[in-house]
Chain A
Amino acid sequence: MTQDLEPMVKVTNVHKVFGRKHHVLCGIDLEVNAGETVVILGPSGSGKSTLLRCINFLEGPTAGSIEVDGVVIHAGENSKLRNQQILDIRKKTGMCFQSFNLFPHMTVLENIIEGPTTVLNQKKNQAIPYAEELLDWVGLTEKRDEYPSHLSGGQQQRVAIARSLAMKPKVMLFDEPTSALDPELVGEVVEVMERLAKEGMTIIAVTHEMHFARDVADRVFIMDNGNWVEEGPPDKIFNNPEQERTRQFLAHIL
């Protein structure tokens, strides 16, 4: 594993307040090194999605700062420069959603080249070879010209992963990528995530896929009520947790 001096993602004392007083994140710190895979677990409503969405500024943090691959943004006022930095961070991070969110008016291939052509101004024929490589990598070459509505959930999620990867991101964020899937389709998506981790992608995943958390993650974080309860290597978290709260939570989901 490569260990840079600076972490790839650095979340510093991030707070998120919805409305005036719904305090969802209460001073979260998180450092993820390049190539590391981190899994976040926690009860529903504890703020896991909100944290992921703060990292790529789909939600603006109320306080604190976010750093991705050297781009630092502090919570607070909008400015031209800051908006540009937000776009920079988004280009460096890919995100996969629970509900896939493929673009239904575009074919699989068009979905994948949309980022490179629109955001990175690549020519179509410049973007297509890499898109085809990615399609092959997620095992969907034969679905190249299908529309998303003709694919199964597992296939859609794999296309969504390819769409994110087409931007050559430094970090991938996964927000419960398998929880909208039928049980028999979960495996194919987890398998792709696993290969991604093996190839050295930096990954932050919220997932209740225990195999992924146990066998693929380098570190597991437990969140409750917008705070970290505990963190550590999966071995320690699952077999020998320090906190009573972790024990309770794991007993609940295992």
Chain B
Amino acid sequence: MNNNTTDQQTPAIPSGIPQEAQAVLQGIEAQETKYRRNLIIAFAVLLSLMIASLVIIGLDFKFMIKWLPFILTGIGYTFLVSSLAISLACVLAVLGALGRLSENPVLNSIATSYVSLIRGTPLLVQVYMWYLALPQIGKSLEEFGITGIQALFTLPAIPAGILALGVCYGAYMTETVRAGIQSIKLGQTEAAKALGMTNSQTMRRIIFPQALRVIIPPVSNEFIAMIKDSSLVSLMGVWELSYRAIKIGRRHFQSLEMLITVAMIYWVLCMILQLVQEKIEKHMSRGDRRTQ
């Protein structure tokens, strides 16, 4: 929108727009420039206040910089865990939503209980379930005579974390996806059917692509939340971002520095993700009247 106005202003005044209207347009533009300038100033002031307060409390910046590389190496785990977990969650969410919308009583009840059970229990308990309680189940099954099951059910920390996060977020996202699918007007399904599409073609070609537009913002939200929740795998001793920061902080009695460092890293990560989200949303909203 801003581009348009500047584009039109630079190559002389377009003919046909009367003098008074020109003045109004210029007024609007001046106001927009002023607003943008003030916004930048406000952010700059806020940022310098934050930095100033950090300096005043006597933060040891040298210490922070010294350990930064060590903490940053934990990003790999954070990314590995959260991206695999979000992938798993997306698959489960689509299956869950189809189950919730299914007329088949078996599928429907499975999906409904999955959502209810997972949403009704704390993530922390679920993490320990996958990590500590599952081997016990394996042991009982082994005693029933299924050989090798205990080894299979004894998960290393990272797979256990991925499963716990993926299954948990999958349950929340099931509801998001279901709501997204249901938000598409019945007329779309009818138009697709009238062309002779099968149910699955209708879902794949017509309903889901439209639902995706509704789903993307809340799913990005979930992903951002997941980046932070992935620190739960540190409970199982995985050396990811926050585990490293906490360890070093405790050892040198400089927890404040380490916590602020790791908080900033998470913040930057989430801001990057938000940028990606905005890019995707912009792409998805083509065909939307508002983007014109």
Contact B289 A114 (CB under 8 A): no
Contact A150 B292 (CB under 8 A): yes
A56 to B155, CA, bound (A): 53
| Cβ < 8 Å to B, chain A residues 101-126 | 101-107, 114-115, 118-119
Contact A94 B194 (CB under 8 A): yes
Per DSSP, are chain B's interface residues mostly helix, strand or loop, or mixed?
helix
Contact A118 B194 (CB under 8 A): no
A167 touches which of B188, B195, B206 (Cβ 8 Å): B195
Tally A-B pairs: CB < 8 A: 68
In the complex with contacts A105-B209, A148-B287, A150-B289, A91-B191 CB distance below 8 A: no
Question: Which residue of A has the minimal Cβ distance to B212?
Answer: A105
| Cβ < 8 Å to A, chain B residues 231-268 | none
- Counting chain A CB atoms within 10 Å of each CB, the highest count among B192, B195, B288 belongs to B195
> Residue-by-residue, is B169-205 near A (CB-CB < 8 Å gives 1, otherwise 0)?
0000000000000000101101111111110010001
B287 touches which of A56, A94, A101, A106 (Cβ 8 Å): A106
Per DSSP, are chain A's interface residues mostly helix, strand or loop, or mixed?
mixed
In the complex with contacts A104-B210, A149-B288, A87-B194 CB distance below 8 A: no
- The contact size tier of chain B is 20 to 34
Contact B195 A101 (CB under 8 A): no
A90 to B192, CA, bound (A): 10
Contact B286 A119 (CB under 8 A): no
A104 touches which of B190, B196, B198, B287 (Cβ 8 Å): B287
Q: Answer whether residue B228 sits at the interface, using C-beta atoms and an 8 A cutoff.
A: no
Contact A118 B287 (CB under 8 A): no
A58 touches which of B190, B201, B206, B213 (Cβ 8 Å): B190
Chain A contacts for B213, CB-based, 8 A: 105
Q: Answer whether residue A249 sits at the interface, using C-beta atoms and an 8 A cutoff.
A: no
CB of B213 to closest CB in A, whole Å: 7
28 contacts between A and B (CB under 8 A): A56-B194, A58-B193, A58-B194, A90-B195, A91-B195, A91-B196, A94-B194, A97-B191, A99-B187, A101-B191, A103-B210, A105-B210, A106-B287, A114-B195, A115-B196, A118-B197, A118-B201, A118-B205, A119-B196, A119-B201, A147-B286, A149-B287, A149-B288, A149-B289, A150-B292, A164-B194, A164-B195, A167-B196
